[in-house]
Amino acid sequence: MANLQYCASISDAFGPSGYEHDVADLICRLTADFRPQRDCMQNVYAALPGNTGARPVIMLDAHMDEVGFMVQSITSNGLLKLVPLGGWVEHNIPAHVFVIRNKLGQLVRAVSTSKPPHFMSAAERSAPLSLDSILLDAGVCSRADAVDLLGLEAGQVAVPDVQFCYNAQTGLAMGKAFDCRLGCAGLVEVLEALRSETDLSADVMAAFSTQEEIGLRGAKVTAQQVRPRLAICLEGTPADDNFSAPDAAQAALKKGVQIRFRDGSMVAHPGLIAFARRAADEAGIPYQLAVRTSGGTNGGSIHLAGAGIPTIVLGVPVRYAHTHYGYAAPTDLDAAVSLACAMIRRLTPEVLDALAPQVSL
């Protein structure tokens, strides 16, 4: 089974887009045996001990940031106006608990506001919810109390207040930020699984990137830094098994790793897709195929870097992505880790040349 301790600690960490410092600290500790380095954007790079520096590089990618909010201003009665960091659906936000990091570095709990039905008109009840109408209430009655007593001010960031848990009876985990903290846990497991390999045909570099939720920004930098021949992204991908017909679902819990053909940011390299499927079939790894019409991953930035980088997204299905609470199956993370390892072990020089030919102009 997937390392639940990794999943729990990484999921629980505080780290919205642009403020991934705590997550980066944790990743550096978890990858201490893999010479972690951190750049000015908080992207973390970890390398296999057997890397030679003279072989093609395979980049593993997962992003550390989670969706959250930034405080824009504080009203006279102490409510916090918000700007989103990442994609939120308005009706998923009210009446939930968030934590805000104040100027002393402490976490302050706050509730997202919702107007009681007793005070709502018929028109208000049927009107679409506006993000501008949702604020955070930290339990004060004035701006002065918010500032002086709680240390709150504009520019601070907030994330959902949720703790990871695992139900052994159902085989499912629940927590926040599974997009893409599960991918980060998976990258650590891939490094550990490959650390003793002596006959790989490529060097392996894991890049734990930042700011994916606000435009795939960290991956633009990691792809430039690593300059890989191929890239494998592990992603917490939105599950659809709880609202789609069984024969239509393409991201079902407990059905294995998702191999994605396309989304709103990338059309996957067909040769790399075929290679991944062969590797999965040979190793008996369960997988499911997906064609997405929207959304995107770091693959959207990575595959366009340099002269082009064949990139594949291996998804771990997550119910209720971009909300407070997500469900995921550790067995699906196992499948993603196993497939990433199987692909890397099967990447011969001939396969690399076929999938990622080098062009001299």
**Could you tell me which residue, 128 or 315, shows the higher pLDDT?**
315
Residue 55 CB contacts under 8 Å (≥ 6 apart), including other chains:
200, 201, 202, 203
Going from the C-alpha of 59 to that of each of 131, 162, 185, 211, 223, the distances in angstroms are 37, 31, 16, 18, 8
Cβ atoms of 311 and 299 closer than 8 Å:
yes
pLDDT, position 197: 92
Q: What is the mean pLDDT of residues 335-353?
A: 97
pLDDT digit string, tens, across residues 152-183: 999 999 999 999 999 999 999 999 999 999 99
Listing DSSP states for 4-57 in one string gives HHHHHHHHHS--BTT--HHHHHHHHHHTGGG--EE-TT--EEEE-TT--SSS-E
In the structure encoding, which two tokens stand for residue 94, read together?
Answer: 């009210």
Question: What domains are defined for the chain?
Answer: 4-66+176-355 (3.40.630.10), 68-160 (2.40.30.40)
Torsion of CA 98, 102, 104, 106, to 10 degrees: 0
Single-letter code of the amino acid located at 204: V
CA angle 259, 324, 167 (to 5 degrees): 70
Q: What is the mean pLDDT of residues 322-337?
A: 98
What pTM did the predictor assign?
A: 0.96
pLDDT, position 330: 98
pLDDT, position 236: 98
d(C-alpha 183, C-alpha 198), whole Å: 25
pLDDT digit string, tens, across residues 210-221: 999 999 999 999
pLDDT digit string, tens, across residues 115-131: 888 888 888 888 888 89
d(C-alpha 85, C-alpha 182), whole Å: 19
d(C-alpha 64, C-alpha 42), whole Å: 9
pLDDT digit string, tens, across residues 277-308: 999 999 999 999 999 999 999 999 999 999 99
d(C-alpha 319, C-alpha 304), whole Å: 29
* Number of other residues whose CB lies within 10 A of the CB of residue 200: 18
d(C-alpha 336, C-alpha 178), whole Å: 14
With CA atoms as reference, report the closest residue to 222 among 41, 29, 34, 25.
41
* Number of other residues whose CB lies within 10 A of the CB of residue 342: 19
- Reply yes or no on whether the pLDDT at 1 is more than 80: no
pLDDT, position 247: 84
Lookup result for tokens 């196992």: 334
Single-letter code of the amino acid located at 140: V
Question: For 2-6, 106-110, 146-150, which range has the lowest pLDDT when averaged over its residues?
Answer: 2-6
Question: Would you call 300 helix, strand, or coil by DSSP?
Answer: helix
With CA atoms as reference, report the closest residue to 107 among 141, 180, 72, 156.
156
Mean pLDDT of all residues belonging to the chain: 96
Single-letter code of the amino acid located at 282: E
pLDDT digit string, tens, across residues 70-81: 999 999 999 999
Residue 31 CB contacts under 8 Å (≥ 6 apart), including other chains:
44, 46, 188, 191, 206
